[in-house]
Amino acid sequence: MTTFKSTHHIDRKCIVIKLGGSTLEGLNEAFFSNFKHLQEQGYDIIITHGGGPAINQELAQKNVESHTINGIRVTSESAIGIVQSTLIGKVNPKLVYELNKAGISAIGLSGFDQLLLHADYLDQTTYGYVGEVIEVNTLLLQSLLSQGFIPVIACIGVTMEGQALNINGDSVASAVALAVNAESLLLVTDVSGIRIDDVYQSQATPSDIEKWIEEGQIYGGMIPKVQGAIQVLNAGIPSVQIVNDSLKGTNIISQELSKLK
């Protein structure tokens, strides 16, 4: 996990919600109702999002090849402009519009807004124009939250020289959650959490997850997601939840917290 700085910690209870690209197409009324319910409970909400399917479509239309290494999209010089324009110009405004239409005050952001996501190259030789978060401008987030807005952050970072960098969605969500000292990080996917023996688990610990991976009960794309969740948990966020678009799923908590329950 990236080690990064934050400019300021947010004092109010805060939840960071990461929306994967596949979930953005099917957001329903229950999803927006749960957002309102969290706000009524006194939580500040920050949303981060990717846009993989939309990016794939744009790249294909422009005949720009793309592939992944270790789950990270290799982003060439010709691809970064397409990724940037798709996330900031199409995916982000559409999501903000849907939130506003549902009566939720939201405002779209990217790393370019007051250097919200100061980034540097992850490994330019291997991944090209892919970044890692160095610093999160939490003062900007605090200002928007204090005015009742939900920040909606596209996963584009920027270097000090103004170069856009594509950043993995889970990485951005983790960086923001740690920077604002969030109470919880919710990773919204197209499944209802971790499923073991055909039963979705309401709670899991890192040791549970390690055992399930060894047994082959957690496999495929869920492996990097749960491993990333454990990293965030180990870095200090009390809970990480893998949930569906109704915000229901598996709560991953530390061994210490599980003993107290």
Domain boundaries, the chain: 5-188
Helices (H), the chain: 29-40, 52-61, 77-86, 92-101, 124-127, 138-146, 169-179, 206-214, 222-234, 255-260
Kindly report the CATH number that applies to the domain delimited by 5-188: 3.40.1160.10
Q: What is the pLDDT of residue 256?
A: 67
Q: Does 52 qualify as catalytic in the annotation?
A: yes
pLDDT tens-digit series, residues 146-181: 999 999 999 999 999 999 999 988 889 889 998 999
Q: Which of 169 and 111 is assigned the larger pLDDT? A: 111
Burial pattern 89-124, b for ≥16 Cβ within 10 A else e, equals: ebbbeebbeebeeeebebebbbbbbebbbbbbbbee
Residue 213 in tokens: 């991976």
For the residues 178-190, what does the mean pLDDT come to? Answer: 89
Catalytic-labelled residue, pool 20, 111, 169, 170 = 170
Indicate if the pLDDT at residue 43 is higher than 60: yes
Predicted TM-score of the model (pTM):
0.87
Classified as helix, coil or strand, 154 is strand
Instruction: Compute the distance between CA of residue 169 and CA of residue 22 in angstroms, rounded to an integer.
Output: 12
Per the CB < 8 A criterion, the answer to whether 256 and 201 are in contact is: no
Neighbours of 140 (CB within 10 A): 17
Q: What is the pLDDT of residue 1?
A: 42
Average pLDDT of the chain to the nearest whole number: 88
Q: What is the pLDDT of residue 3?
A: 47
Q: Does 193 qualify as catalytic in the annotation?
A: no
- The residues near 12 (Cβ < 8 Å, ≥ 6 apart) are 42, 43, 44, 145
Per the CB < 8 A criterion, the answer to whether 172 and 130 are in contact is: no
Q: Does 225 qualify as catalytic in the annotation?
A: yes
Q: Does 170 qualify as catalytic in the annotation?
A: yes
Catalytic-labelled residue, pool 18, 113, 169, 208 = 18
pLDDT tens-digit series, residues 206-248: 999 999 999 999 987 788 778 878 888 888 888 899 988 778 8
**Measured between alpha carbons, how far is residue 97 from residues 94, 100, 175, 202 in Å?**
5, 5, 25, 32
For the residues 131-160, what does the mean pLDDT come to? Answer: 96
Catalytic-labelled residue, pool 21, 51, 111, 193 = 21
Q: Does 42 qualify as catalytic in the annotation?
A: no
Catalytic-labelled residue, pool 13, 52, 90, 94 = 52
Catalytic-labelled residue, pool 111, 113, 225, 245 = 225
